Structure 1
Amino acid sequence: MTQETRVLLEHGARWVFASALDHPGWARRGKGEDAALQALASYEERYRAVVGDDLCRPGAGAHLQVVESAPGTATTDFGAPDAKGEADLEPLDAAGSARLVTVLTACWDALDAVVARAPAELTRGPRGGGRDRDKVRDHVQEAERSYGRTIGVRVPPRTPWPEQRELLLTGVVAGVGAPPPTTGWPVRYWARRAAWHVLDHAWEIEDRTPSA
């Protein structure tokens, strides 16, 4: 029996985000529901190349099932997923936490590999904008430090990135068996958002790397 890929649709005024609830980092946007789902499906192979077949089976993009819809925010229309669904409140057990840790680590490894092989200067966007490689990397690191506070992890400024990542993963592990938070972000949502941010910028760097 084919296992469906659970999807949350997040409706903003400008963008709709489709997020695979059980695959942190696999989320894309489009101008409307159909476009968002098509974009999500089109990134299946790219996502699976990061996390592997065990965490994203081949053909997952062909079996998208919308199980939740939620209103978006100004953040959605800015270009980042921001909606939290009921699935994000599901209890987190040790196996689920280990899976989140594995996915997040794979996403970080993918970004590190992309940064290592990319040139310092990236191609510009259609309007001449866009950060260069090191500024993209620094942006991701600083954003993650900020995200940590939403799961109760305080990362001091200028903490080396490997140590920062270890600190953040302690917040994932601490979510095992914990009730849904009354403030901050549920751990499942935090993992989805953090992994999306890492991969979105890793793919940006890849796409903006000049051709040989």
Structure 2
Amino acid sequence: MRGFGSFVSAARFCCALPVSPGIILGFPPKSLQNGRILTAFSHILRRVERTFAAGTKRTGARLMANQLRVTLEIGPKGKKVAAVAPDWPGLERGAKTEEAALERLQSYLPRYAQVAKLAGMDAEFADLSTVDVVEHYPGTGSTDFWGISFAFSSIDKQDLSSGALERELTLMQACWAFFDAVRGRVSAQMQKGPRGGGRDRDHIVDHTIHVEQIWAQKLGLHTPSDADRTDEGLRAHRDAYCNAIRAFHAEGKMARTWSLRYLIRHTAYHTLDHAWEMEDKDLTVGVR
């Protein structure tokens, strides 16, 4: 029995190694196929192999869960690159090179963590430990000019399950909630600078919501231009926006030429970009 126990211990050890357990136990391929060893230990080896495969699958799943997937959109002239985290709508940053775009994206992780917390996904977001660049794809002239994603990756074109859609809508709504919180605490006058021509807070807010109302037309929505003047009007617009996306998803429809996934992430990005702009230009002392 001692010898058998040693065999089982060795088998358990093998399950942690990235090669075939049978080979580690000293059984060459031919003996595994034709010899007496196969007859004596085949049922044990099958159990070991199943355990090994299951352990490998669990380990791979954990590694993937801890990775921040990133796609890189390359401008046609190579002037700008947009780094996009497709699993976290709104988390996108651009720069002049791939390396700089990735570095800038990662520098914004602490700021996006506030959005993840509002969405109830802070633990999931905090577990991200590595960046995995999963795709390079061509952008548009606007990518080169603005350093913003204006093209669709292969992930943007993938079908979404109902559960995945709700997750992305939850994150988009968290971006809205963050935007509202920021505009409620920053100064009315913004720090002057080249971006936006020195717009003040209300101008930035009006611009952000107005552009979103234009995109809503892709969903067949026509929101009153003054909907953002009251909390009730803005809430009604946003509820209609989300419900229209759900309806289009149920029918398998795109938002005109935009995939629903792109519409969600672009809406989230535009909202967050201007929320962060207001934070960066805030004249209130000790705002953050």
Q: Structure 1-normalised TM-score? A: 0.90
Looking at secondary structure, tell me which structure has more helix per residue.
Answer: 2
Change (3 A) 1:21 1:128: closer
Which of 70, 79, 93 is 1:7 aligned to?
70
Alignment partner of 2:136 out of 64, 69, 74? 69
Contact 1:9-1:16 at 8 Å conserved across structures:
yes
Alignment partner of 1:89 is 2:157 = yes
Task: Tell me, in whole angstroms, the C-alpha distance in 1 between the residues paired with 2:102 and 2:94.
Answer: 8
Alignment deviations for residues 168-190 of structure 1 (CA, whole Å, 9 cap, x no partner): 11122124354363942111111
Say if 2:95 and 2:147, in contact at 8 Å, map to a contact too. no
CA contact (8 A) 1:151 1:184 kept: no
Question: Residues 126 and 171 (structure 1 numbering): CA distance in 2 closer, same or farther, change over 3 Å?
Answer: same
Instruction: Tell me, in whole angstroms, the C-alpha distance in 2 between the residues paired with 1:152 and 1:5.
Output: 34
Deviation at 1:144, TM superposition (A): 0.3
CA RMSD, 1 decimal? 2.1
Confirm or deny that 1:43 pairs with 2:108.
yes
Give a deviation string over 1:13-63, Cα, whole Å, max 9, x none: 332100001110000011100000011111111101112272652253x42
Whole-angstrom CA distance in 1 between matches of 2:192 and 2:127: 33
2:23 is equivalent to residue 23 of structure 1: no
Map of 1:55-134 to 2, 5 A cutoff? Answer: 56-60=124-128, 62-76=129-143, 77-125=145-193, 129-134=197-202
Deviation string 1:101-147 (CA, Å, 9 cap, x unpaired) is 21111111111111011111000115893311000000010010111
- Name the CA shift for 1:133/1:92 in 2 (closer, same or farther; >3 Å): same
Residue identity in the other structure for 1:144: E
Identity of aligned residues (%): 36
Select the structure with the greater relative contact order (CA < 8 A; seq sep ≥ 6). 1
Gaps spanning 5+ residues in structure 2: where?
1-61, 228-232
> Structure 2 vs 1, CA of residues 128 and 73 (structure 1 numbering), >3 Å: closer, same or farther?
closer
Matches within 5 A, 1:158-197: 158-159=226-227, 160-179=233-252, 181=254, 183-197=256-270
Amino acid at match of 2:142: T
For these two proteins, the number of residue pairs brought into alignment is 211
Aligned to 1:201: 274
CA distance in structure 2 between the partners assigned to 1:162 and 1:51 by the alignment: 20
Letter in 1 for 2:259: P
Unaligned runs of 5+ in 1: none
Secondary structure in 2 matching 1:165: helix
Give the Cα–Cα distance (whole angstroms) in 2 for the partners of residues 181 and 102 of structure 1. Answer: 19
* One-letter amino acid of the structure 2 residue matched with residue 72 of structure 1: G
